[in-house]
Amino acid sequence: MVAMTVDCHRELTRHCHRDLTHPVVMFCVSETLLPGATENEVARRHGVCANHVSSWRTLARKGRLVLPAPEDPVEFAALMVGSTEDAPRADVGGEARPEIIAGAVVTRLEAGATADRIASVVRALATSP
């Protein structure tokens, strides 16, 4: 990855937080997506506030900020779909309760939860820190 330096902190803070097409904005967000990178570390390296980097990441996640294409080649995993008739079935006894496991947190939903309810809980968990 090409290192990008900012010559003038004043120019960056005055224009970047409003101009989402600024290359530094896109570069900062791209850097935070690398394994092991943190928003604070990237913000400190580029001389911007960490909350700006966090806001830019949120915009990128919502699709309102377009990021440059990744420099690494994109890899795809093979997916094999088999017949569901051959799959072993577990006897759950009664109605099954959906569980969502995120790290050390287990969220158990009510029995018979609809797909919309499950999706809304997953979205809420995905957006929480």
- Tens digits of residue pLDDT in 30-55: 888 888 889 999 999 888 889 989 99
6-17 as b/e: b if 16+ CB within 10 A: beeeeebeeebb
> Which pLDDT does position 88 carry in this prediction?
62
> Which pLDDT does position 129 carry in this prediction?
63
Average pLDDT estimate for 16-26: 67
Domain ranges of the chain: 9-61, 96-129
Q: Which of 80, 79, 76, 65 is nearest to 29 (CA)?
A: 65
Question: In the numeric block, which tokens belong to residue 65?
Answer: 């900020």
Residue 44 backbone phi and psi in degrees, to 5: -65, -40
Q: Which of 83, 88, 73, 32 is nearest to 55 (CA)?
A: 32
Q: Which residue has the higher pLDDT, 126 or 84?
A: 126
Average pLDDT estimate for 11-25: 60
Average pLDDT estimate for 14-32: 72
> Which pLDDT does position 90 carry in this prediction?
59
Question: In the numeric block, which tokens belong to residue 78?
Answer: 């093979």
CA distance 96 to 76: 33
